[in-house]
Chain A
Amino acid sequence: MKGNEAIAEAAIRAGCLHFFGYPITPQSEIPEYLSRRLPELGGCYVQSESEVATSHMIYGAAGVGTKVMTSSSSPGISLMAEGISYLAGAELPVVIVNIMRAGPGLGGILPAQSDYAQTTRGMAHGDFRLIALAPASVQEAVDLTILAFDLAEKYRTPVILAGDGVIGQMMEPVVLPEATVGPPLKADDWALTGCVGRKPRKVSSMFLDPDELNAHNFKLKARFAEIARNETRFEAYACDEPLDLLVTSFGISARICRSAVDAARSEGLKVGLFRPITISPFPMDALREIIGRSQRVLDVEMNTGQMLHDVEMAAQGRCPIDFFGRCGGLIPSAEGILEQIRASLAQLPKGGVP
């Protein structure tokens, strides 16, 4: 299946029957697919007038207790910033897919990982962080879409699925969960469903009392810390032994790095790969531990060095970090990365490399 369609079908299998969105390349197969499927399943598809509106439509949908998703690509996600902040403040569970393209501005429609910083730092005004998942294959896009709905519900928070144009456009075989339509959202104790036989409820991000808002912000922070403890996910590939070089990368570029790492290892080079799957919360401790037994780090991204800052934080200056990036829609090739791996290894003090 094509990545975008796989994400759409995975959402249905996770129990999401309501979708609001505005067209943008390279994610349009998601709304196209759902506009056909959701009405058949008794759900709804609404094409909004803008991503601003979309972000508030999902606020309304989640607020009445509905499992809901939207998808967009970089410029559209910027327009959703407002709604995302309200969703976070009002603690509403939604899934937002960002099939990233190259920026800034209108940029280009080709794949990029341009929004790492925006995605992992809350995305909008106010003081909060969100869960963000970065798939490296179509199968993982499916698995993480389903996980995104689970985490959104469990922690009452928006969850971002951060893919890119390659994940969205690529076709790969996938295994889907068996349930054709997953369960509805469990929101009995907070959703606005009409106040039959109970006190009226509010869904709001407004706290005019500074003490209350202070407490609310620290509550959200504590929840994010809990998410970091329970839900941080990463892949450490060929990282068991001490390493001469650790490659760090996320999403599709990590997938390409893996080919390069395989090639390097087949030449006998001691190279491993660390790939955060939750780019937020970032697997800081796990990376720090592996960097602790690596001589040098090479960070590879499809941008000018955004995750690099998290890698630097993990390294705490303990070893040199090189960066290799391609952006604007260019994709680093495995051959190009292999060259960088060799160049990084060449920097090691003598005796470091065989």
Chain B
Amino acid sequence: MMKPTTEILLAGFGGHGMLLSGRLLAQAAMEMGSQVSWLPAYGPEMRGGTANVAVCIARDQVGSPYVECPHILVAMNAPSFDKFAPKVKPDGLIVYNEGLVPNPKQRADCTALCVNAQEVAIAAGNIRAANLVMLGVLVGATELVSDDAVIAAIESEFAAKARFIPVNVAAYRAGVAHGKDGRCAQSA
């Protein structure tokens, strides 16, 4: 069965910027003509715990914006991985940050992709762009949206702080390259 909606959960610590990654993804998909929703978990969960956001991308209509079992998980750190990896739908995709997820408990029925997001971000110019690396890996591996659309979303997001655009784009592109060649892929 074709899935009418792709459900993506992006998770990390508050401050990792996963909510922003999710927003850029939703923005890019919207610009490409899809229906999207972006639903952050808010409240006590946000303080000191995992900050996560559900992004749904659909051709015509997003049904439930609330995602319990995503098709795709992007996990920045171990707590996020541990909490959400078991919930990913069978045949799903898990993108995780090997720098902060030292002992991933792999799922036999999912594809896993890993990257050392902080390292790649440092190479791209700023450790804080690790969230863009993760987004890049996701897009590189799935081609859910086009690079142009993501870069346009980055440019509009950072319009007021234009000096941050190049490093974020560089980090994103580095992520895409990782995603494309599927390095670290540990498919079961």
Contacts and interface: CB of A to CB of B under 8 A. Distances in A.
Contact of A333 (B5, B36, B62, B66): B66
Contacts of B37: 138, 170-172
Nearest to A165: B42
Nearest to B37: A172
Given A172-B38, A255-B65, 8 more contacts: A169-B39, A170-B38, A171-B37, A171-B39, A172-B37, A172-B62, A256-B66, A334-B63
Contacts of B40: 169
> Which 4 interchain pairs have the tightest Cβ spacing?
A259-B63, A171-B38, A256-B64, A333-B68
Given A255-B64, A259-B63, A333 B69 contact: yes
A38 interface: no
With a 10 A CB-CB cut-off, give which of A165, A170, A260, A333 has the most chain B CB atoms: A170
Interface in A307-328: none
B30 A173 contact: yes
B160 interface: no
Interface string B33-67: 00111111011100000000000000000111110
A74 to B, nearest CB: 14
6 contacts: A25-B42, A26-B42, A172-B62, A256-B64, A262-B63, A334-B63
Contacts of B42: 25-26, 109-110, 165, 169
B188 interface: no
Interface string B1-44: 10011000000000000000001001000100001111110111
B38 A256 contact: no
Interface in A19-77: 25-26
Interface of B: 1, 4-5, 23, 26, 30, 35-40, 42-44, 62-66, 68-69
A169 B42 CA distance: 8
Nearest to B1: A266
A335 B69 contact: yes
A25 B42 CA distance: 10
A342 to B, nearest CB: 17
Contacts of A26: 42-43
B71 to A, nearest CB: 13
Nearest to B38: A171
A334 B5 CA distance: 13
Given A172-B36, A172-B38, A166 B66 contact: yes
Contacts of B43: 25-26, 108-110, 165, 329
A256 B40 CA distance: 16
A110 B69 CA distance: 19
Contacts of A336: 68
B30 A333 contact: no
A173 B29 CA distance: 11
A331 interface: yes
A258 interface: yes
A109 B44 contact: yes
Contacts of A109: 42-44
Name the residue in B26, B39, B40 with the highest tally of chain A Cβ atoms < 10 Å from its Cβ. Answer: B39
A333 B38 contact: no
A170 B43 CA distance: 13
A275 to B, nearest CB: 13
A37 B141 CA distance: 41
Contacts of B5: 259
Most buried by A among B23, B43, B65, B68: B65
Interface in A102-117: 108-110
Contact of B63 (A138, A169, A170, A255): A255
A172 B64 contact: no
A255 to B, nearest CB: 6
A26 B68 CA distance: 21
